[in-house]
Amino acid sequence: MDVGRWLSEGWAIFAQQWPTFTLATLVAFFLSLVTLTIATGPFLLGLYFMAFQAMRGERIQLGDLFKGFEQFGLAFLAWLIEVFIHSSLGGLTERAPVMGLISLAFSPLAFALFAFVYPLILDRKMDIASALNEAWRIVVSRQWVMFWVLGVVLMLLLTAGLLGCLVGVFITAPWIICAMAVAYRDIFGVRSWPSEPLWPSSGTQTSS
């Protein structure tokens, strides 16, 4: 795995159509707040759909953001589980310093885990249990340290984006999605592509 290349290639994909990605993220953020985050999971699926389309060299549009609602139930459940896990880990930090260390150890892995769960639901039409199991199998593999580093980097990028009245998050969030779409392609392959991708992988797939 090559975290630096994933981020670099993800940025290149985002930069080619950054106005649409940024607008879509803004719309997703606003509508997620309006719906009390009920729509967050489906919007994440929609952003991954846009990233995969852009990766193929296709022109994306704002309407693609709503593609995730075709799998609303699974996306919503994935979001609920993710929120529960992160909330539980955050609660450990408040209890004792030792618990905080446990949270520090597992939070980045959880972040990396769900970065694969959503595209697995979108691309392979997996149910929640199967997507979690497949993502877990990869994240806790022999390269779990690198996936931990990946999670830390993504969390730092997202946190940096939240600074400055949240303006930066509309850049860092879609960049993260694009980078993880690249990682997903390299690790799992993208089954939903009907033809050879226009943005070929420079990595080696470890699972098919």
Neighbouring CB atoms inside 10 A of 75's CB total 26
Is 45 within a domain? yes
Provide the pLDDT for residue 96.
56
- Across the range 3-13, mean pLDDT stands at 96
Provide the pLDDT for residue 42.
98
Residue 189 predicted with pLDDT over 70: yes
**Please, what is the average pLDDT of the chain?**
88
Residue 95 predicted with pLDDT over 70: no
Which of these ranges, 169-173, 191-195, 199-203, has the smallest mean pLDDT? 199-203
Provide the pLDDT for residue 156.
93
Is 206 within a domain? no
Which amino acid would we find at residue 62?
L
Count: domains in the chain: 1
Is 49 within a domain? yes
Is 113 within a domain? yes
Is 66 within a domain? yes
pLDDT band at 167 (very low <50, low <70, confident <90, very high): confident
| pLDDT tens per residue across span 102-131 | 677 788 999 999 999 999 999 999 999 999
**Residue 124: which H helix or E strand, with range?**
helix 97-124
pTM: 0.89
109 or 200: which leads in pLDDT: 109
Provide the pLDDT for residue 99.
60
| pLDDT tens per residue across span 28-59 | 999 999 999 999 999 999 999 999 999 999 99
The domain of 62 spans 3-188
Choose among 122, 128, 129: nearest CA to 69: 122
Is 51 within a domain? yes
